[in-house]
């Protein structure tokens, strides 16, 4: 069946359901109104879903995407498409100012869902859409979010559709801000962010770079692919049972630095990304999480206790202080194997002659923890190898008395230091599981799946 309205043909086979277009002055909207799709124009479908279709839809992850008015609003289309490609059903709501940058009809055409700007408009078929919209989703994502919207969310102001939806939703909330660097750094904006984080909102920090206004600094909307990935990770964590709710997970992350003199040190290229991914995954699954971190370049995890250290000796002390209260220890840090036998108090001057450094082993944090293992403690180690990966990992497991070793070949493309992905093999006493290339967040959950299984076996 085909419907012709003005110069637009709507095919029922493509849309899946009969369509009505409603406008304040007249029931059949001209093409110009559809193109502009101003807040006065609301497009909706006549619901005719069958019971079995409704059942299928409930199994699909549902995301509400809020779009605020800023130059980065056009990127929301890419975010929406990324979520759709991952199998999510996406509904979109825009602020009035957002409509100046990207039209509602764009989202309507791509989602086959109503696009809401003002749920108080007389032509809106659902006068309390902010309630139904907020209660029927698994995640509320706002990208981009302006400084104005952050302030309203933080203060509890509900004067438009997005702000009322924020107050009404019970789903996890993720916000990706975008604004001028000066606005980002302003104390008022930082206070709003602090308040939102305290309320449990996940903030996706903006990237640094050149703004549309020519300023350079933090404020660019994070890359759409990263926003989609974080949204999917949060959806996945909500689906998983809170199987670590009784656990206190102690994690080491990042690289240690062993000083040669006041300006030089021995270290490695670890970013801390894997350890931080483990921290966020464990927190999402209900665990109390403490992270002992050396030098890192990855964004810090939220909702966890973070303790900063520099050297292997400092990391060991921090771990041992907290070990009695931990039920799982995961050694994801890249600890330097050697340190200078003597640290020079002054900078070593360049003389042109050869310089010989005498090195000594650093403390073996993993072996020390395994030797002090109490009955309820699971100990997980990492093995970064370039050859005979599983063989070396199993040797480490048995020699140090570990419960699990995560082995990865750092010479493979897409694995190892400062990469967003990893390829690992999980080695336990009863077998091995090789995982394909996946994000470090996905790897983190697979590691924790094994930790949860080992805990269940230990409890009988």
Which residues participate in the annotated binding site for CTP? 337, 347, 363-366, 382, 396, 400
- For the annotated binding site, the residues are 337, 347, 363-366, 382, 396, 400
What is the C-alpha to C-alpha distance for residues 142 and 267, in angstroms, rounded to an integer? Answer: 39
* DSSP structure class, residue 35: H
Nearest Cα residue to 293 out of 274, 306, 279: 306
Residue 152, H or E segment: helix 147-155
Per DSSP, 348 falls in state: P
Known catalytic membership, residue 41: no
The catalytic residue among 88, 99, 213, 310 is: 213
Q: What Cα–Cα distance (Å) separates residue 279 from each residue in 326, 335, 365, 433?
A: 14, 18, 19, 22
**In this structure, how many other beta carbons lie within 10 angstroms of the beta carbon of residue 428?**
18
CB 329 within 8 A of CB 380: yes
Give, in order, the Cα–Cα distances in Å from 201 to each of 13, 18, 72, 193: 40, 38, 21, 9
Strand 338-340 with 359-361, pairing: antiparallel
- Distance from C-alpha of 53 to C-alpha of 65, rounded to nearest angstrom: 23
Q: Is 143 left (phi over 0), alpha (psi -120 to 50) or beta?
A: beta
Is residue 276 within a helix (H) or strand (E), and if so which, with residue range?
Answer: helix 273-284
| Rounded distance between C-alpha atoms, residue 82 and residue 84, angstroms | 5
- Residues designated as active site: 213
């Amino acid at each position: 069946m085909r419907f012709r309205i003005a110069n637009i043909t709507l095919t029922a086979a493509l849309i899946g359901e009969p369509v009505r277009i409603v406008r304040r002055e007249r029931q059949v909207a001209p093409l110009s109104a559809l193109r502009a799709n101003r807040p006065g124009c609301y497009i909706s479908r006549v619901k005719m879903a069958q019971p079995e279709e409704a059942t299928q839809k409930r199994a699909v992850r549902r995301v509400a995407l809020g779009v605020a008015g800023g130059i980065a609003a056009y990127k929301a289309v890419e975010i929406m498409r990324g979520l759709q490609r991952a199998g999510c059903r996406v509904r979109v709501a825009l602020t009035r100012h957002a409509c100046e940058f990207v039209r509602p009809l764009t989202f309507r055409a791509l989602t086959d869902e109503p696009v809401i700007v003002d749920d108080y408009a007389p032509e809106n078929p659902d006068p309390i859409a902010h309630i139904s919209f907020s209660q029927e989703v698994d995640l509320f994502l706002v990208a981009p979010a302006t400084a104005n919207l952050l302030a309203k969310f933080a203060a509890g102001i509900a004067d438009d559709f997005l702000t009322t939806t924020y107050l009404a939703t019970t789903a996890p909330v993720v916000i990706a801000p975008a604004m001028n660097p000066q606005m980002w750094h302003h104390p008022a904006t930082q206070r709003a962010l602090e308040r939102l984080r305290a309320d449990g909102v996940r903030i996706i920090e903006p990237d640094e770079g050149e703004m549309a206004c020519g300023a350079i600094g933090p404020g660019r909307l994070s890359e759409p692919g990263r926003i989609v990935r974080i949204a999917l990770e949060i959806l996945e964590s909500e689906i998983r049972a809170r199987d670590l709710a009784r656990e206190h997970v102690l994690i080491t992350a990042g690289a240690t630095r062993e000083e040669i003199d006041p300006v030089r040190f021995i270290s490695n290229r670890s970013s801390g990304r894997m350890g931080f991914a483990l921290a966020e995954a464990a927190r999402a699954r209900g665990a109390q999480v403490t992270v002992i971190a050396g030098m890192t370049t990855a964004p810090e995890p939220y909702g966890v206790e973070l303790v900063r250290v520099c050297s292997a000796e400092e990391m060991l002390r921090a771990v041992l202080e907290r070990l009695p209260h931990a039920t799982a220890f995961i050694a994801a840090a890249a600890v330097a194997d050697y340190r200078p036998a003597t640290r020079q108090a002054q900078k070593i001057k360049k003389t042109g002659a050869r310089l010989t450094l005498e090195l000594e082993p650093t403390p073996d944090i993993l072996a020390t923890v395994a030797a002090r293992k109490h009955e309820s403690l699971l100990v997980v180690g990492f093995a970064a190898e370039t050859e005979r990966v599983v063989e070396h990992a199993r040797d480490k497991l048995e020699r140090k008395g570990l419960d699990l070793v995560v082995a990865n070949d750092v010479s493979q493309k897409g694995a190892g230091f400062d990469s967003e992905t990893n390829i690992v093999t999980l080695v336990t006493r009863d077998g091995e599981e090789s995982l394909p290339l996946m994000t470090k967040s996905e790897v983190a959950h697979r590691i924790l799946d094994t930790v949860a299984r080992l805990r269940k076996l230990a409890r009988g």
